[in-house]
């Protein structure tokens, strides 16, 4: 399983778990304590199917909202493709992007490669936390300042020379 597939599955599972927690705290708990609905009601197959339906719908709505945020950011320049420091086919997210978290969520759902252009000017690769077990490999995060693009095809963090981007 590739790193991007793991990130996609993690994004779906995290979205579903947040939706389930919201359903539990906003619907189930008030019904139990305020309206005195018996606990047995929440153990039926009908309730479980409704909960599954709500969680699934929440995931699809979240994916749609994230997709709309991504497309709006592409239109207004918050996300660019083919940036000199990011490479071809890699989405580069600028620090001025207002909906950065939703855009990253969409990129995880879509299994797209991206890089955050950090506030300090460092590119953070989407797979920077992936497998770093090769002891003989020197990653780009240990490269000297001004190192534009890694050619090693390993998970990495890029240090960007700000003077060459202007």
- Over residues 17-45, the mean pLDDT reads 93
User: For residue 88, which phi and psi values (nearest 5 degrees)?
Assistant: -75, 140
User: Structure tokens of 124?
Assistant: 């953070």
Q: DSSP per residue over 80-137, as a string?
A: EES-TTT-TT-EEE-TT-TTHHHHHHHHHHTT--EEEE-TTSEEEETTTTS----TTP
- Over residues 53-81, the mean pLDDT reads 95
Q: How many other C-beta atoms are found inside a 10 Å radius of the C-beta of residue 119?
A: 8
The string of pLDDT tens digits covering residues 48-61 is: 999 999 999 999 99
Q: Do 102 and 15 form a contact (C-beta atoms < 8 A)?
A: no
Q: What is the pLDDT of residue 139?
A: 36
> 158 forms bridges with which residues in the sheet?
123
Q: What is the pTM of this model?
A: 0.68
The string of pLDDT tens digits covering residues 135-163 is: 333 333 433 333 333 333 333 333 333 33
Q: Do 159 and 140 form a contact (C-beta atoms < 8 A)?
A: yes
The string of pLDDT tens digits covering residues 90-140 is: 899 988 888 999 999 999 999 999 988 865 444 454 444 444 333 333 333
Q: Which residue has the higher pLDDT, 146 or 5?
A: 5
Q: What percent of the chain has pLDDT over 70?
A: 69
Q: How many other C-beta atoms are found inside a 10 Å radius of the C-beta of residue 151?
A: 6
pLDDT at residue 74 tops 60? yes
The C-alpha atoms of residue 164 and residue 138 are separated, in whole angstroms, by 24
Question: Which of 152, 150, 135, 104 minimizes the C-alpha distance to 4?
Answer: 104
Least confident of 32-41, 68-77, 107-116, 151-160: 151-160
């Amino acid at each position: 399983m590739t790193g991007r597939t793991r990130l996609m599955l993690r994004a779906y599972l995290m979205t579903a778990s947040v939706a389930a927690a919201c359903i539990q705290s906003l619907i189930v708990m008030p019904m139990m304590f305020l309206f005195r609905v018996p606990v047995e009601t929440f153990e039926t197959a009908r309730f479980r199917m409704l909960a599954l339906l709500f969680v699934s719908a929440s995931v699809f709505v979240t994916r749609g909202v994230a997709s709309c945020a991504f497309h709006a950011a592409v239109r207004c320049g918050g996300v660019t493709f083919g940036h000199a420091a990011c490479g071809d086919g890699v989405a580069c997210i600028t620090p001025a992007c207002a909906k950065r978290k939703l855009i990253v969520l969409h990129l995880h759902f879509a299994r797209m490669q991206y890089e955050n252009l950090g506030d300090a000017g460092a590119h953070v690769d989407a797979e920077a936390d992936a497998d770093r077990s090769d002891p003989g490999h020197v990653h780009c995060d240990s490269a000297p300042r001004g190192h534009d693009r890694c050619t090693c095809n390993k998970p990495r963090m890029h240090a960007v020379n700000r003077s060459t981007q202007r």
